[in-house]
Structure 1
Amino acid sequence: MHHHNSGELFTPFMLFAGFGSAAAAIFMAMMLARRKRVAWIVFMLLCGGYAALSVWLLTFPEYREHPFNWISTAITVVVLAFAVLGRRENHAKGDPTNPQLALAVLGAGALVSVLVGTTLVTAAGTDQTSVGDRVWYVALRLATLSSDQDFPTLRVAAWVSTGINLTGLLLFLAVLYALFRSPRGRELLDRDDEDRLRALLDKHGARDSLGYFALRRDKSVIFSPSGKAAITYRVVGGVTLASGDPIGDVEAWPGAIDAWLAEAREHAWIPAVMGASEEGGNVYARHGLDALELGDEAIVETADFTLEGRAMRGVRQAYNRIKRAGYTTRIRRHTDIPAEEMAELLAAADRWRDGQTERGFSMALGRLGDPADGQCVMVECHDAEGELRALLSFVPWGPKGLSLDLMRRDRNSDNGLVEFMVLDLIQGSAQVGVERLSLNFAMFRSVFEQGARLGAGPVLRMWRSALMFFSRWWQLESLYRANAKYRPIWEPRFLLFEKSSQLPRIGLASARAEGFIVAPAPLARLRRDG
């Protein structure tokens, strides 16, 4: 390309060819495909400048002699014309960005890249060029395919020059990551929004077991025009991801959904809903969204639950075994736990966490021990010596229900502690005024259940086998069995989306939001610092 543009032929779009600029072109195409207004403006400046340069160069006879230059100019002008004609299509607002962090990454990354590149050029070369020429060559090579022919006395190994250009690509991607990083971890829900949501939950919180999780502070909220309903969501990778049903009066749900979809169109975000109930899914479907069943939520009615009968024999025996071992439970509202004891519970929960990532988005609160969550219920399990061995935390589900939020136990304790605690909570539900419990969510429950039956079809058996394979990492099958032992009422939950072609992006955004896909440690620290 350098030789091409240095001769009698000239192609403006190849002027700054390199891995970094190629990545920039791909990113520009992606932003234009999402109809971002700022991307269209940047493209018009670049394409308009290239078009003007091409036309100006054609005034010179040596450039007019070659038909390729006319073709190149024609293509540039045609592309520019189509961009002008499509100006009204590029109306979407830009996503929230972090320009300060991006500038810091660019400055620090460029400095380190130039220093390392200059060192490699010096170590692997045999030239006598000045340090300034070497620095200038590395700086140019980071963004372009600058040739060492521009530096007659410079001799650079091929692997060094290619490595410098690849470093430019990595630097560009790091700047993009810092600029458009997911807002995970930020507190987007301010105090006024949280107070309004709590007021809606006080009136209508019994409708959806996932309603209280709308109070996660890393979510944004949009209210209906009447203020009687709201949708909480997070934007991840260009997907505006809502969770559960809208909060508030069901008659005001359409207003909140319309406002949420209008904001999605304004920013060219892909709308999606995770974990909607059948009632909520029907309302979303009337607004043009399609539904896909994700799985089922296990709900236990405490008044109807019993340990009697042959079907509960295994659970009953496990419960009695743990009880004979001397384990006991204590059930309290968070507001009744002294600060010193709560600090000890928090320390134990962190110590017993499986990995460093706090997973959850649609069915987890993401915090423990906050004074604002005083109505949450803590179930503690102590061994015969009085040492804490496990804990469960439930969030309110209306005035007479609880929804499981956090489940932690000491790995060195006896198996069956969680079941022992859940059964004690069910049997002592009158102590905290609870009539129903929402336990874990079982993804693809019907596949596990029906695929194991006699006479199941080959497709269903194959689908179940695939899920069993992935259960080695994501505990799909074990969660289903852990819930099924309580013989609960299964309530289906749905994923809502606009187009089937968007499902891969929605799936990736969901995995990121839930914490199944996380950034490497250095990038995670970078994101927290931002």
Structure 2
Amino acid sequence: MAVTEQGRAAAAGSARPATGGGRIRALVPRVLSAAMAAAALYSAAIALVPPLRGLLLPVTFVIETAVFPVAPNLGYAVFLAILAGALARRKRAAHRVAAAVFTLLVLGDLAVVLSASLMPDLVEEFGLTGQVVASEVNLAVAAAALGVLVAAADEFFAPTRKASFRQALATLAGLLALSGAVGYGLVTLFPGTLRDEHHLAWAVERALGGAATFDARRSGLPPSWVDLVIGMLSAVAVLAAFAVLFRSQRAKAELPPDDEQRLRALLSTYGARDSLGYFATRRDRAAVFSPSGKAAVSYRVVAGVCLAGGDPIGDVEAWQPAIRAWLEQARRYGWAPAVIGPGETAALAYARAGLRVLELGDEAVIEVADFGLDGREMRGVRQAVNRVRRAGFTLRVRRHADVPAAEMREVVDRAAAWRDSRDERGFSMALCRLGDPADGDCVLVEAHDADGRPAALLSFVPWGDDGLSLDLMRRDRDTDNGLMEFMVAGLAAAAPGLGIKRISLNFAMFRSVFEHGARLGAGPVLRLWRWTLVFVSRWWQLESLYRANAKYRPSWVPRFLAFDDARDLPRVGLASVIAEGFLTAPRLPRFPRFERRAGHATGTGSLSR
């Protein structure tokens, strides 16, 4: 279900000043989430560590009878953990589930207390006074929690997807049935001391997480590992079901034509501020505009994270209203806000809006007027350029608008054939389309070998009127080394003829660590951090990307990561990896359906910056 204009208006209207009791109610989702998370951790600990379970048995009894149910069951622990996360994201569905849980606790405790008051003799006869007192305490706690939930109902405003409740029930029923069937098979093969006639009932009980007991007088148990396996299967069932139930409202991964034209109008006036600004025209992003329309934040929702890229587009004076509108929308739908790659000025603006900021790395920018191949520091680049030139390679630099349509189709096909991955990658620093008529100001750099065969290509998007930002880098795998240096140097030489004064190349993550950590006198912590990154670079190419940029002696422009809560950092990191195309998010099976598609002219895209 897409975020509609009405939804955006509701999101904009959801911001209200929190004063007095409002500030206290605003804390309810976080406090309740922390309590549920603590119960989840306790249940998981006593489920996974049998000695701890026995040691804490008195504590477990007190908590379970007087405060809140805990149980040595992984399925139950996962349920509480998922509920805690959804409560923290202010999901309406999570509020209803929590209210239902506390309502059942109140009704159960109330039944015990009323029964004890009506039949005091039985309480004394069977020694149930302690349990009645525990129920009275539990009744007070559960009633107080339920009252707080009712009073703070307005704080749980984030919607879930349409029909998620029915889908969650179907998912839970199917997976719990599978867990029970597997459990029955295991307990049949490994019964331990459990009698044959109790196998099915025991397996069903354990699949349900101990929520129901069919025979309290039953004796005997199968091996503990059978109980653990069933608990893990039930945990997976609960995890899947609640993941379906609490899925965030999804925004359409498309940029409407009207919004794209508004963004292009802002870029024509303010596009020189940010080398990543043009990537806001990606068609798998959306945009939130300031009330004045003079600024916008470009974003995409991935894994429940509202992920913005680069600086806000437009007038700096209108950035704060645009950022507030974006944050209000993220808050309204329960998304975790995050920004990948803002510059220093934008990072400060996001920090003023309440986000936390970390330095992520640096962007390499070549100042054309200062670039040259002379000097000892440029010796490696100069040798590579001369070697490729002697081999007979030639270079051609053109605006996309100057490339004939038939030739551009060949370029698109070559880019796809030279792509290292199956799918296009990129989000914050890639356009992921090539050959679109709307991108006529982009610049294409092509290298041909001595026989005139295409060998490599680069594509750059506009950075204001006098800059370029690298979008696409592709080459034939059989070509000589040094070809990219030849192309970058050739573009710098041709840049004045195109009116270009600056060229943005790749982004080097943790650049300062690689540079300063190798210097004489670097401290032990910095050296250890650098060693760690060098080790990780065996798989993620962090150091090689830094060195590939550093050899051009560029200016380094810092880039940052902005986020709301440190607890969201793992989710933000996962969303970034998915958005950049390095990981495919798992999806539930969907039935095919016909959809109307937006009438954008699109081409093959790229991401390799």
Specify the TM-score bucket, using the shorter chain as the normaliser.
0.7 to 0.9
Matches within 5 A, 1:1-16: none
| Separation of aligned partners in 2, 1:412 and 1:513 | 30
Q: Do residues 243 (structure 1) and 298 (structure 2) align?
A: no
Coordinate RMSD, CA, aligned? 4.0
Amino acid in structure 1 at the alignment position of 2:144: A
Equivalent residue, structure 1, for 2:461: 395
Q: CA deviation at 1:404?
A: 0.7
Q: Do residues 349 (structure 1) and 412 (structure 2) align?
A: no
Equivalent residue, structure 1, for 2:209: 144
Equivalent residue, structure 2, for 1:5: none
Cα pair 1:274 1:494 within 8 Å, conserved: yes
Match of 1:409 among 475, 480, 490: 475
Cα pair 1:352 1:409 within 8 Å, conserved: yes
Equivalent residue, structure 2, for 1:42: 97
Match of 2:145 among 82, 101, 105: 82
Cα pair 2:179 2:207 within 8 Å, conserved: no
Cα pair 2:92 2:160 within 8 Å, conserved: no
| Separation of aligned partners in 1, 2:307 and 2:443 | 28
Match of 2:509 among 443, 446, 458: 443
Deviation by residue 1:430-453 (Cα, 9 ceiling, x = unmatched): 454422211011122222222222
Cα pair 1:222 1:230 within 8 Å, conserved: yes
Cα pair 2:400 2:441 within 8 Å, conserved: yes
Match of 1:24 among 79, 94, 117: 79
Q: Do residues 91 (structure 1) and 155 (structure 2) align?
A: yes
| Separation of aligned partners in 2, 1:113 and 1:41 | 22
Which shifted more, 302-311 or 176-185?
176-185
Q: CA deviation at 1:282?
A: 3.0
Matches within 5 A, 1:112-127: 114=177, 118=181, 121=184, 125=188
TM-score by length of 1: 0.82
Which shifted more, 44-53 or 342-351?
342-351
Equivalent residue, structure 2, for 1:331: 397
Q: CA deviation at 1:388?
A: 3.0
Amino acid in structure 2 at the alignment position of 1:476: L
Give the unaligned 5+ runs of structure 1. Answer: 2-8
Equivalent residue, structure 1, for 2:113: 58
Cα pair 2:288 2:298 within 8 Å, conserved: yes
Cα pair 2:361 2:507 within 8 Å, conserved: yes
Amino acid in structure 2 at the alignment position of 1:374: G
Task: Find the residue that maps to 1:429 and give its secondary structure.
Answer: helix
Equivalent residue, structure 1, for 2:560: 494
| Separation of aligned partners in 2, 1:396 and 1:203 | 13
Task: Find the residue that maps to 2:293 and give its secondary structure.
Answer: coil
Task: Find the residue that maps to 1:412 and give its secondary structure.
Answer: coil
Q: CA deviation at 1:224?
A: 0.7
Which shifted more, 350-359 or 313-322?
350-359
Equivalent residue, structure 1, for 2:35: none
Q: CA deviation at 1:267?
A: 4.5
Q: CA deviation at 1:143?
A: 3.2
TM-score by length of 2: 0.73
| Separation of aligned partners in 1, 2:458 and 2:278 | 16
| Separation of aligned partners in 1, 2:315 and 2:255 | 20
Amino acid in structure 2 at the alignment position of 1:361: F
Cα distance change of structure 1 residues 83 and 119 upon mapping to structure 2, 3 Å threshold: closer
Amino acid in structure 2 at the alignment position of 1:322: V
Task: Find the residue that maps to 1:490 and give its secondary structure.
Answer: strand
Which shifted more, 200-209 or 505-514?
505-514
Task: Find the residue that maps to 2:431 and give its secondary structure.
Answer: coil
Task: Find the residue that maps to 2:114 and give its secondary structure.
Answer: coil
| Separation of aligned partners in 2, 1:75 and 1:159 | 33
Matches within 5 A, 1:198-237: 198-237=264-303
Cα pair 2:306 2:335 within 8 Å, conserved: yes
Cα pair 2:90 2:158 within 8 Å, conserved: no
| Separation of aligned partners in 2, 1:147 and 1:83 | 26
Cα distance change of structure 1 residues 524 and 329 upon mapping to structure 2, 3 Å threshold: farther
Deviation by residue 1:154-200 (Cα, 9 ceiling, x = unmatched): x9887666544433322332344455568999524222222211111
| Separation of aligned partners in 1, 2:187 and 2:131 | 39
Amino acid in structure 2 at the alignment position of 1:143: L
Match of 2:130 among 62, 67, 72: 67
Equivalent residue, structure 2, for 1:476: 542
Q: Do residues 193 (structure 1) and 259 (structure 2) align?
A: yes
Matches within 5 A, 1:129-140: none
Task: Find the residue that maps to 2:370 and give its secondary structure.
Answer: coil
User: Size of the alignment, in residue pairs?
Assistant: 517
Give the unaligned 5+ runs of structure 2. Answer: 1-42, 44-63, 190-194, 594-609
Amino acid in structure 2 at the alignment position of 1:324: R
Task: Find the residue that maps to 1:263 and give its secondary structure.
Answer: helix
| Separation of aligned partners in 1, 2:511 and 2:591 | 36
Which shifted more, 91-100 or 12-21?
12-21
Amino acid in structure 1 at the alignment position of 2:100: L
| Separation of aligned partners in 2, 1:508 and 1:227 | 32
Task: Find the residue that maps to 1:245 and give its secondary structure.
Answer: coil
- Identity, % of aligned positions: 50
Match of 2:361 among 276, 287, 295: 295
Cα pair 2:360 2:510 within 8 Å, conserved: yes
Cα pair 2:176 2:208 within 8 Å, conserved: no
Q: CA deviation at 1:25?
A: 1.9
Cα distance change of structure 1 residues 119 and 177 upon mapping to structure 2, 3 Å threshold: closer
